[in-house]
Amino acid sequence: MKILISALEHSANMHLKSLKKELSEDVEFIGIFDNELGNSIIDLRSLAIMGFVDAIKKLRFFFKLNSQMADLAKEADKVLLIDSSGFNLPLAKKIKKRYPDKEIIYYILPQAWAWKPKRIPVLEKTIDHLASILPFEKDYYSKTAPITYVGHPLLDIIKEYKEELNKEVKQIAFMPGSRKGEIKKLMPIFKELLHTLREKNPDIQATIIIPKHFNKEDINKLYGTLSDFKIAHNAHKTLLEADFAFICSGTATLEASLIGIPFVLTYIAKPLDYFIASKLVKLSHIGLSNIMFTQFNDRELHPEFIQEDVRVDNLAEAFNNYDRDKFLRDSKALRAYLKHGSSKTVANIIEDKNED
């Protein structure tokens, strides 16, 4: 079986790797994905963008790539789209128009419930199988929608998590993100924050988590002097071993929640990007863990600081007043809410197998 894959983001490819382990050996990937999984038609590093402004600059490039993928769909038995709705939804429409009988599966759905509810009817008509990774998502679709809650992909990856916490915080992990703009904005604040926390507790050890693909030149340019930090690349291992974390908004915040490490979310976007997002998104939180947790609780799971509120005094106060034991109990409740991983169920959908 030949499957056209459209997986543009690092997180999408992380989940695609788990999915491939559940698929039969005769399944072949074509399209866009990490080169570790086969012969992608493009190097994923050329797709890295941050926010609305960067996306606009690359519009012509993405239109051309979209057409290339639609042409390639002719060779595929099925189509699997993962996340990246700005690219994948127009692609789905184009493929369905050309090949009405070509089965399209969408895994990690567009967050239409948060951004554009009007997209939901479009998804129902265009996609043959909607593979949802959020338990509450199904409630936003019609009763006849081809949607299934398949579990959450992070539970395929995160096998170890904290059962209990150390009494004192001795190890702090810092994750300023993977995009260059995020890192440049957060690193000066994180460095000053570490200095502030060490004034009260000089024995605190700090680890900075840096993406593996950055070379020495990137690190020097983006992070500056890191003499106060131990450098790590394995995020899950580092978070599991640490006692607390400060994390840029994104998938990493959900990973931290499932691992069970108490943390604070920080997010500084470009002013124009934040203005646009604030007009489009009608949510009380930006962290996915908080969005999910508030579905079955009347409070948030972890603190969030956004834009001008990302200040050293705010972050230090949140750290000093944190109820870490309460967070650990809540993180266990969140894992129970998500139930299980998603790869096996999605593999069954692709291969038309009956689910266990």
Indicate whether 13 and 91 sit together in one domain. yes
For the stretch 75-100, pLDDT in tens is 999 999 999 888 999 999 999 999 99
Indicate whether 63 and 202 sit together in one domain. no
Q: Does residue 159 lie within any of the structural domains?
A: no
Residue range 218-242: average pLDDT? 95
pLDDT of residue 278: 60
Say which DSSP state 189 is in.
H
Indicate whether 90 and 121 sit together in one domain. yes
pLDDT of residue 157: 93
Residue 201 belongs to domain with CATH number: 3.40.50.2000
Indicate whether 195 and 127 sit together in one domain. no
Indicate whether 192 and 276 sit together in one domain. yes
Indicate whether 37 and 149 sit together in one domain. yes
- Cα distances from 69 to residues 12, 63, 65, 92, 129, in angstroms, run 17, 10, 6, 10, 19
Which residue type occupies 68?
Q
For the stretch 325-347, pLDDT in tens is 999 999 999 999 999 999 999 99
For the stretch 233-291, pLDDT in tens is 999 999 999 999 999 988 899 999 999 999 999 998 766 665 555 655 666 777 889 99
For the stretch 132-168, pLDDT in tens is 999 999 999 998 999 999 999 999 999 999 999 999 9
The H or E element containing residue 7 is strand 2-7
Instruction: Look up the domain containing 64 and give its range.
Output: 2-153+341-350
pLDDT of residue 20: 96
Q: Does residue 45 lie within any of the structural domains?
A: yes
At 258, list the tokens.
């499932």
Q: Which residues, in sequence order, are bridge partners of residue 4?
A: 30, 79
For the stretch 174-191, pLDDT in tens is 999 888 888 999 999 999
More confident residue, 110 or 16: 16
Residues 6+ apart with CB under 8 A from 310: 186, 189, 266, 267, 268
> Does residue 223 carry a pLDDT above 90?
yes
Q: Does residue 60 lie within any of the structural domains?
A: yes
Q: Does residue 166 lie within any of the structural domains?
A: no
Q: Does residue 162 lie within any of the structural domains?
A: no
Confirm if 30 and 351 have CB atoms less than 8 A apart: no
The H or E element containing residue 343 is helix 343-350
Confidence of residue 49 (pLDDT cuts 50, 70, 90): low
Q: Does residue 164 lie within any of the structural domains?
A: no
Indicate whether 34 and 141 sit together in one domain. yes
pLDDT of residue 1: 95
Indicate whether 299 and 334 sit together in one domain. yes
Indicate whether 82 and 202 sit together in one domain. no
Whole-prediction pTM value?
0.85
Residue 24 belongs to domain with CATH number: 3.40.50.11010
- How far apart CA 145 and CA 128 sit, in angstroms, is 9
Q: Which of 1-10, 38-47, 102-111 has the lowest mean pLDDT?
A: 38-47
Q: Does residue 277 lie within any of the structural domains?
A: yes
- Cα distances from 73 to residues 8, 131, 169, 217, 230, in angstroms, run 16, 20, 52, 39, 46
- What is the per-residue burial (b if ≥16 Cβ within 10 Å, else e) of 284-295? ebbbbbbbbbbe
- How far apart CA 353 and CA 164 sit, in angstroms, is 39
Residues 6+ apart with CB under 8 A from 75: 2, 4, 30
> Average model confidence (pLDDT) for the chain?
91
Confirm if 243 and 203 have CB atoms less than 8 A apart: no
Confirm if 66 and 94 have CB atoms less than 8 A apart: yes
Q: Does residue 327 lie within any of the structural domains?
A: yes
Other C-beta atoms closer than 10 Å to the C-beta of 189 total: 20
For the stretch 196-209, pLDDT in tens is 999 999 999 999 99
Indicate whether 214 and 285 sit together in one domain. yes
pLDDT of residue 281: 60
Tally the domains of the chain. 2
Indicate whether 136 and 211 sit together in one domain. no
pLDDT of residue 356: 46
Confidence of residue 119 (pLDDT cuts 50, 70, 90): confident
Indicate whether 201 and 281 sit together in one domain. yes
For the stretch 293-322, pLDDT in tens is 999 998 999 999 999 999 999 999 999 999
